[in-house]
Amino acid sequence: MSGIAEVLADSGIDIRALTIADTTDFGILRLIVKDAEKAKKVLQSSGYVVSINQVIGIEVQDIVGGLAKVLRILDDAQVNIEYMYDFLAIKEDKAYIIIRVENNVKTTEILTHNGIRCISNDDIVF
Amino acid sequence: MERYWQKEIETASRDQIVAWQNERLVRTVKRVYENVPYYKKLMDEKGVTPGDINSIEDLWKLPFTYKSDLRDTYPYGLFAVPMEQVVELHASSGTTGKQIVAGYTRHDLDIWADCCARQLVAAGATKEDKIHVSFGYGLFTGGFGLHLGAQRIGAVAIPVSSGNTARQITILQDFGSDYLCCTPSYAMYIAESMEQANVDMSKIALRGGIFGAEPWTEEMRQRIEEKLHIKAHDIYGLTEIMGPGVSYECCEQSGMHVNEDHFIIEVIDPDTGKVLPEGEQGEIVFSCITKEAFPLLRYRTRDIGVISRKKCSCGRTLVKMSKPRGRSDDMLIIRGVNVFPSQIETVLLRMGYSPNYQIVVDRVNNLDTLEVKVEVTQEVFSDTVTKFAVKEKELSEALKSLLGVNAKVTFAAPGSIDRSIGKAVRVIDKRKI
C-alpha cells in the first residue's frame, strides 16, 4: 500500500478517493485519480496489476436521509452495488458518492429519471 | 534445409545405430565388471556375467542402478577409471538426500560437447551466434554443458550463469545474445522482468531458447515463445547420465531425440521392472555406452515418459522421448490420487493464469489437502470481489475435473510467489508421513 502511494506520489498523481477490499490473500485497492491512464502506466511498470473501470459519481443532498433516498431508488430498480466510495462534501449542502455497478448506462438513466444528478470529472476538484 | 552437427550419426540407419549400440554395450559391460567392484557384486548377485551380454537384446538381464546405489557408493564408488584420468567433477543438487558426484574424462567431456552441439544446431544455432548461458555454472551440469556445446560449434559462449536478472537483461540487449539457455521458469521470469522494464523487444536479437532441467508444459512453451519472440527448445539430461544433452529437441518440437550412439533408452514398468513396448508410458531408464569415468548401466531416472520411433520430419533417425511428465519423485499422491505438478500447470496456463504458482499439500484431520496458489495476472484481475469469487470457482472446478481431487485456489499478489533462478520450487508438502 505504501509502495503504491509512493509510486503515485513520485509521478505527481493526486489520489482523490480510495477504498480497499481485503480478500484473505491479497488486497484490491481502488483509487480515483485525475489521470487514470498515467497512473495505470506508472503502477504497471512498478509491477502492479492495474485495470481502469467506469464508475458513477452521484450527488447526494448533505442532509439526514440523503443517502438513503438514493440507495432506495437503486434498490427498487434492483441495481446491485458492487462497492462504493464516499466523498466528503465539496460544495455546501452536497455530498458525493461513487458507485460501481454492472450496467452504468442503465443505472445513470434510472438515477437521472428520479431527479438525482450524476456528476462528471469536472465536478471533482483535482 | 535442416542442419545437423553430426549428420552421419544423427541420420544413421536403424541397423547402424543398433550395431554401434551392440558393440559399445558389450565393451562397456565388460569394462565396468572388471573395474567397478560394486557393479561386479550387483551382477554376480543377479547371476549375470559379461559373457551373457552379447547385444542390446540382452540388456534386460543386467541389474538396474538406483539412486540409492549412488548414495551407497558416494562419492567415487562407481567410477570406472583411476582418478588420474578424471579431469572434471560435477554434482547434482542433492535436494533429495546426499548429492551425486559425476566424473568426466577428457573423452567424456568431448562426447558431452558433441551432444550439446547437436542440440544447438538442431535449434538453428550457427557459429555466428552468441549463446547466452544462464544455467548455473558450478557443480550443476547445466552451465558447463551448454558452454561446451556452444564452443564446439564455434559459436560465442556467454557464461552469464544464473541470477542477477537486471544484468541478464542488460547483456541480452547490449551483447546481442542470439540464444538463451536456462530453466523454463527462469526464462519466464526474465521475460516478465523485461516487460516490466518496458524493454523494446524489437531491439532484442534473441532467436531461440534452450530450456530444461525441470519439467515444463506445452502451454509454458507457448507463453515463453510469445513473450520472448523466440522458438523454445526442450533439452533433457541428468547429472547421473551426463548432464544436458542426453536428448534434445529438433525443429519439430514434438519430443526429444535421444543421443542413442551414447545412451540406450528403455521404458519400463516402474513396479515390475519389465521393459515396455514403444508407445507405452513408463519409467525411463538409461545405460551409458561410451562414457569412461562414470558409466551407469540401466539407471532408473524416475522420469515418466514414452518413446517413439516414428519417422521425424527433421530427418533424424534417433529415437524420440516425450517430454517427461514429471519425475516420479515429483508425483504427489493426494487422497490416493496421483497428481503431477505439470498437470496443474497445464490447467493454469490454459485458463490465462500466470506460470508462477505454488502447490501446497498438507494433511488436516487425516485428510490430504491441496492448495494451488497462483499469482493474479492483468488478464484475470478485476476490481470487484465477486468476479474473483467466480474465477476462483471456475479454476477450482477445472482442476478438480482434470486431477480428480479437490483443490483450493488461492490468488496471490503479483510477484509474491518466489521466483526461481535455478530449478523452480513448485511444491511444498507439509504432510508429515
Domains in chain B, start-ordered, CATH in brackets? 1-327 (3.40.50.12780), 332-429 (3.30.300.30)
B376 CB neighbours in chain A (<8 A) are: 26, 49
Q: State percent of chain B over pLDDT 70.
A: 97
d(CA B86, CA B88): 6
Provide φ and ψ at A122, rounded to 5°.
-65, -25
Sheet containing strand B231-238, edge to edge, reads B156-158, B130-133, B179-182, B208-212, B231-238, B243-249, B256-258, B320-321, B307-308
Cross-chain residue pair B381–A51, CB shorter than 8 Å: yes
Side chain identity at residue B76, one-letter code = Y
Mean pLDDT of B407-416: 88
The closest of B197, B136, B133 to B171, measured between CA atoms, is: B133
The per-residue pLDDT for range B216-246, each reduced to its tens digit, is 889 999 999 999 999 999 999 999 999 999 9
Does residue A88 have a pLDDT over 70? Answer: no
Domains in chain A, start-ordered, CATH in brackets? 2-45 (no CATH), 56-123 (3.30.70.260)
A26-30, A89-93, B89-93: which has the minimum mean pLDDT?
Answer: A89-93
Does residue A126 have a pLDDT over 60? Answer: no
Closest CA of chain A from B374, distance in Å: 11
Cross-chain residue pair B414–A48, CB shorter than 8 Å: yes
Task: Tell whether A38 is within 8 A of chain B (Cβ).
Answer: no
Does residue B433 have a pLDDT over 60? Answer: no
Task: Tell whether A94 is within 8 A of chain B (Cβ).
Answer: no
Residues composing chain A? 126
Cross-chain residue pair A47–B196, CB shorter than 8 Å: yes
Helix axes B106-122, B141-152, angle to 10 degrees: 70
Does residue B413 have a pLDDT over 70? Answer: yes
A-B contacts (CB, under 8 Å): 52
Amino acid A96: pLDDT: 86
In B, what residues contact A, Cβ < 8 A?
196-198, 373, 376-378, 381-386, 388, 410-416
The band of B363, judged by pLDDT with boundaries at 50, 70 and 90, is: confident
- Scanning B128-209, the segments in alpha helix (DSSP H) are 141-152, 165-171, 184-196
Pairing between β-strand B427-429 and β-strand B357-364 as defined by DSSP bridges: parallel
More confident residue, B412 or B52: B52
Q: Which residues contact B172 (CB under 8 A, 6 or more apart)?
A: B132, B180, B190, B194, B204, B206
The model carries a pTM of: 0.79
Q: Which residues contact B41 (CB under 8 A, 6 or more apart)?
A: none
More confident residue, B7 or A94: B7
Q: Which residues contact B144 (CB under 8 A, 6 or more apart)?
A: B88, B90, B137, B243
Does residue B35 have a pLDDT over 90? Answer: yes
Amino acid B163: pLDDT: 86
B386 CB neighbours in chain A (<8 A) are: 82
Task: Tell whether A51 is within 8 A of chain B (Cβ).
Answer: yes
Closest CA of chain A from B318, distance in Å: 45
Cross-chain residue pair A51–B410, CB shorter than 8 Å: no
Choose among A30, A49, A100: nearest Cβ to B378.
Answer: A49
Which residues, in sequence order, are bridge partners of residue A59?
A96
The nearest alpha carbon in chain B to A80 belongs to B386
The per-residue pLDDT for range B12-29, each reduced to its tens digit, is 999 999 999 999 999 999
Amino acid A23: pLDDT: 67
Q: Which of B360, B380, B383 to mutate to test the interface with A (most CBs of A within 10 A)?
A: B383
The per-residue pLDDT for range A1-26, each reduced to its tens digit, is 788 899 999 999 988 888 888 766 77
B107-111, B197-201, B333-337: which has the minimum mean pLDDT?
Answer: B333-337
Q: Which of A28, A30, A41 to mutate to test the interface with B (most CBs of B within 10 A)?
A: A28
The nearest alpha carbon in chain A to B193 belongs to A47
Peptide bond into B82 cis (omega under 30): no
The per-residue pLDDT for range B295-317, each reduced to its tens digit, is 999 999 989 999 999 999 999 99
The closest of B93, B27, B103, B86 to B264, measured between CA atoms, is: B27
Q: Quote the cell numbers at residue B355.
A: 506460470
Q: Which residues contact B227 (CB under 8 A, 6 or more apart)?
A: B188, B191, B192, B194, B195
Amino acid B352: pLDDT: 85
Question: Is residue A15 classed exposed, middle or buried when 0-12, 13-18 and 19+ CB atoms within 10 A define those classes?
Answer: middle
Amino acid A111: pLDDT: 94
Does residue B196 have a pLDDT over 90? Answer: no
Q: Which of A22, A26, A43 to mutate to test the interface with B (most CBs of B within 10 A)?
A: A26
Q: What is the mean pLDDT of chain B?
A: 92
Mean pLDDT of B134-142: 93
Give the CA distances from residue A49 to residues A29, A42, B78, in Å, rounded to whole numbers and listed in that order: 11, 11, 52
- Residue B359: count other Cβ atoms within 10 Å of its Cβ: 21
Cross-chain residue pair B377–A28, CB shorter than 8 Å: no
Amino acid B427: pLDDT: 86
Amino acid B296: pLDDT: 97
The band of A125, judged by pLDDT with boundaries at 50, 70 and 90, is: low
